[in-house]
Amino acid sequence: MVSIKEIAAACGVSTATISKALNGAHDVSEATRQRICRMADEMGYHPNAAARTLKTKRTYDIGVLFKDEAGSGLTHEYFSAVLEGFKNEAEAKGYDITFINTNNASMSYLDHCAYRNVEGVAVVCANFSDPQVLELVSGHIPVVTIDYVFNGKAAVLSDNLKGITELFQYVYGQGHRKIAFIHGAPSSVTEARTVGFYRAAEELGLTVPDQYVRKGVFHDASTCALLTGQLLDLPDPPTCILFPDDFSALGGISEIRQRGLRIPEDISVAGYDGIHMAQVMDPPLTTLHQKTRTMGATAARHLIEQIEHPKTTLPHTTVVGGDLWQGRSVAAPQKHD
Amino acid sequence: MVSIKEIAAACGVSTATISKALNGAHDVSEATRQRICRMADEMGYHPNAAARTLKTKRTYDIGVLFKDEAGSGLTHEYFSAVLEGFKNEAEAKGYDITFINTNNASMSYLDHCAYRNVEGVAVVCANFSDPQVLELVSGHIPVVTIDYVFNGKAAVLSDNLKGITELFQYVYGQGHRKIAFIHGAPSSVTEARTVGFYRAAEELGLTVPDQYVRKGVFHDASTCALLTGQLLDLPDPPTCILFPDDFSALGGISEIRQRGLRIPEDISVAGYDGIHMAQVMDPPLTTLHQKTRTMGATAARHLIEQIEHPKTTLPHTTVVGGDLWQGRSVAAPQKHD
DNA sequence: TAAAAATACAAAAACGATTAAGTAAACAGC
DNA sequence: GCTGTTTACTTAATCGTTTTTGTATTTTTA
């Protein structure tokens, strides 16, 4: 690797001048600046990030902590889309992305961040009660979390309350009065959606029987199928089921069809997330699309804001709204009595 | 940040001794070693990667070039699963993953690798004819590519030839003789599958009419729907369609159902990839599952092998086989004459 | 017991950049 | 013509490690 020293030798000036020329300092004459730049180019010079970091304390590197208990990890479209949005925004602002190693027994997440000198870290898909995560967000490094709020830290949330409300109102508007809800695993997301669900029902003067609301998990089609079966077995089954997410919905839909019921003629269903698949399945799934790329990009902006203006930035929470995708999986319920 | 120097002061020894103690060199007495380690722990010492890199020329950092023309990027399950496998294996071996910035006008991919001092780079989902990619793989940095072979460079391939053959033989075994194939966009993957398709047919004594083979694209449900429609419109339509991938299959399936045909009673279909969804859709999709995580992990091993033993490693190509997922989307064709 | 070898440390250079401080030369002002 | 300012550099320190070489002290060997 050709270093600044060799350019200095080739140009007959000191390394200081090279550095200043390359970084556009004011006390280098235009003539030498050009000569140096040309020479650097010619010799194939590239700055050494390690050396620069050592001196400047800046890495332009952002850590992403991405750990999924369920093991679907990156393949979970919700999270990969957030990551995609985050990556694009960060890269556009001149930062690189490094994964915080989650398979390293000898270093905690925070240690790892310190070791790599990342300037900030995004916690995307982690178990937020993990002590290592707690240690990380309690550290003095800028942090942003997705769909979870740590006191005093920046966060980007999907507007689950508004989302589920919108979804509820939509299916209500289609004529449904027996609306069931299979929700996800206990989490702030589930909490928001559950509250939103009940609140929307209440506002519309609807009382939801307890057995219409089932505790499920996220991203698990077979569990969802099971719970869907329980709903269908009720003496007075719902005419519409809201699933925890689009992927789970597939399981529910299978269960429904195995009983010879048609969607949406016999029963309506809606998902949540708005993953790519929702639009192309049959029938297209009615779902609430979460703007995951926007969320990722917003998170990146928050984090970089903190990195670049630590004194004047107050970490705050941004809520990103979604939009209803009207598929064809929800239709007016049959009138049969 | 507490540095080696401060520990040295606290312990009353030189920084050299600290470094050696911490790195387990032989010329430090066990007593001092322990004293130093305890003190380092106590003071919350963490090595500085930048300083270490500067001296040792090692970063333990691997670059991943991940660029998708279609824009689905990370959300494409095939690639995200490869990345997941790669990441896990690399991390287990002590390497971190940094994305090679694809939104940086001022630096080429190779420059970026040099700047970050990554020790190797995996090219996962790129346009392989991109001049920057060519420059990258022509550089002196260890490289591994996925599903594409550059002369003399390590590569990991999915065994598309064997895969499509297996799939063909399976549907043939189920009784199908009118087998159509919608393939993906021009690429080595498509080439291998197309050759495999024709070869399998030939070996089974089957002649495939030209109009049964359609040029499609990958990961595009609506295009696939269109092409499926064309196949169904043929005077003598196929009894089974092989789609370019599982996701595209969704589009084909929609088209089929819109014409009132049932799967698999009226027509059989098969996908390719074995994404998560295939197992939970209705009916479960018969597909050829590519071991994407294995591919990623294998790629990581190849790359690290080159990094750690550059003298004795000959970059080579590994072919990873897949396995047939027997869903219920393929059944014996109707006998109707 | 003197020489040789081993042990346990220290000193100092080096990695490749940045940057504060210093310095000649050119120039301006009166 | 002397002083004060610019201009365009250079010097040298520094960031946090690693590593080669050097050196006392102790231990072993003949």
- pLDDT tens per residue across span A92-130: 999 999 999 888 877 899 999 999 999 999 998 778 889
B54 touches strand C (CB under 7 A): yes
* Residue B268, token pair as written in the block: 């059989």
Reading chain B (337 residues) residue by residue, the pLDDT tens digits are 899 999 999 999 999 999 999 998 888 999 999 999 999 999 999 999 999 999 999 999 999 998 876 666 777 888 889 999 999 999 999 999 999 988 887 789 999 999 999 999 999 877 888 999 999 999 999 999 999 999 999 999 999 999 999 999 999 999 999 999 999 999 999 999 999 999 999 999 999 999 999 999 999 999 999 999 999 999 999 999 999 999 999 999 999 999 999 999 999 999 999 999 999 998 999 999 999 999 999 999 999 999 999 989 999 999 999 999 999 999 999 875 4
The residue with greater pLDDT, B138 or A72, is B138
Give Cα separations from B150 to A195, A283, B112, B140 (angstroms). Answer: 55, 43, 20, 14
Task: Please indicate whether, in this complex, the C-beta atoms of A247 and B276 are within 8 angstroms of each other.
Answer: yes
| CA B89 – CA B91 distance, rounded (Å) | 5
Radius of gyration of chain B (CA): 26
Handedness of CA B236, B238, B244, B247 (dihedral sign): positive
Q: Residue A264, preceding bond cis, omega within 30 degrees?
A: yes
Q: Given this model, what pLDDT does residue A71 score?
A: 61
Side-chain half-sphere exposure of B327, counting CA atoms within 13 A: 28
Which burial class, exposed, middle or buried, applies to A67 when counting CB atoms under 10 A from its CB (0-12, 13-18, 19+)?
A: buried
Determine the nucleotide nearest to A55 by Cα–C1' distance.
Answer: D15
Task: Please indicate whether, in this complex, the C-beta atoms of A87 and B98 are within 8 angstroms of each other.
Answer: no
Q: Which of B4, B62, B76, B80 to mutate to test the interface with A (most CBs of A within 10 A)?
A: B80
Please report, rounded to whole angstroms, the spatial distance between the CA atom of protein residue A54 and the C1' atom of nucleotide D4. 39
Protein residue closest to C6, using CA and C1' = B27
Residue among B75, B221, B280 minimizing CB distance to A84: B75
* Residue B298, token pair as written in the block: 């294998």
Residue among A46, A51, A222 minimizing CB distance to B54: A51
Mean pLDDT confidence for A35-51: 95
Kindly state the helix (H) or strand (E) to which residue A97 belongs, with its residue range.
strand A96-99
CB-defined contacts A:B, below 8 A: 137
| CA B300 – CA A75 distance, rounded (Å) | 18
Q: Determine the straight-line distance between the first and last CA of chain B, rounded to whole angstroms.
A: 82
Q: Are strands A96-99 and A120-123 parallel, antiparallel or unpaired?
A: unpaired
**Which chain B positions have a beta carbon within 8 Å of A140's beta carbon?**
none
Reduced to 3 states, what is the DSSP secondary structure of residue B3? coil
**Which chain A positions have a beta carbon within 8 Å of B49's beta carbon?**
50, 115-117
Q: Given this model, what pLDDT does residue B56 score?
A: 95
Please report, rounded to whole angstroms, the spatial distance between the CA atom of protein residue B53 and the C1' atom of nucleotide C15. 8
Q: Which of B74, B104, B293 to mutate to test the interface with A (most CBs of A within 10 A)?
A: B74
Return the bridge partners of A154, or none: A144
**Which chain B positions have a beta carbon within 8 Å of A117's beta carbon?**
48-50
**Which chain B positions have a beta carbon within 8 Å of A51's beta carbon?**
50, 54
Give all strands (DSSP E) within chain B, no chain letters.
61-65, 96-99, 120-123, 143-146, 154-158, 179-183, 213-215, 240-242, 268-270, 287-289, 317-320, 323-325
Residue among B83, B87, B277 minimizing CB distance to A277: B277
Which residue of chain A comes nearest to B41, CA vs CA? Answer: A111
- Order of strands across the sheet that contains B240-242: B213-215, B179-183, B240-242, B268-270
